[in-house]
């Protein structure tokens, strides 16, 4: 039996908890990746970051969770990834 990391209210997963987890997860990954990205050009960092399978990483981290939770976490992280890539691309212009 799997015990969820997230509370449910009337059977509905707490979106605030999911969003907080996803943001924290993304920032932890980003901190780790930044150590590598400082060794390459911004253009190469953008290219490499765009190839990271964030959705797969999230699915592995949340294995056993409800698909609704996983999809919400994937959406939040993908939004953060796009924002970060947009920020990085601004340095290329």
pLDDT tens string 33-89? 988 888 999 999 999 999 999 999 999 999 999 999 999 999 999 999 999 999 999
pLDDT of residue 1: 65
The pLDDT, as a whole number, for residue 17 is 96
Quick one: average pLDDT of 22-28? 97
Residue 24's CB is within 10 A of a number of other CB atoms, namely 10
Separation of alpha carbons 75 and 81, rounded Å = 10
Question: Residue 36: is it exposed, middle or buried by C-beta count within 10 angstroms (0-12/13-18/19+)?
Answer: exposed
Structure tokens at 80: 């953060």
Q: At what angle do helices 67-90 and 54-61 cross, to 10 degrees?
A: 140
pLDDT, residue 55, reads: 96
Q: What is the pTM of this model?
A: 0.89
Nearest to 2 by CA among 53, 63, 56, 55: 63
Q: Which residue has the higher pLDDT, 19 or 12?
A: 19
């Amino acid at each position: 039996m799997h015990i969820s990391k997230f509370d449910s209210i009337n059977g509905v997963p707490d979106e605030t908890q999911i969003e907080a987890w996803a943001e924290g997860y993304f920032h932890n990954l980003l901190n780790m990746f930044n150590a590598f990205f400082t060794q390459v050009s911004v253009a190469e960092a953008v290219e490499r970051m765009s190839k990271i399978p964030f959705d797969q990483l999230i699915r592995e981290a949340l294995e056993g969770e409800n698909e609704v939770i996983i999809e919400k976490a994937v959406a939040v992280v993908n939004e953060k990834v796009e924002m970060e890539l947009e920020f990085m691309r601004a340095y290329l212009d």
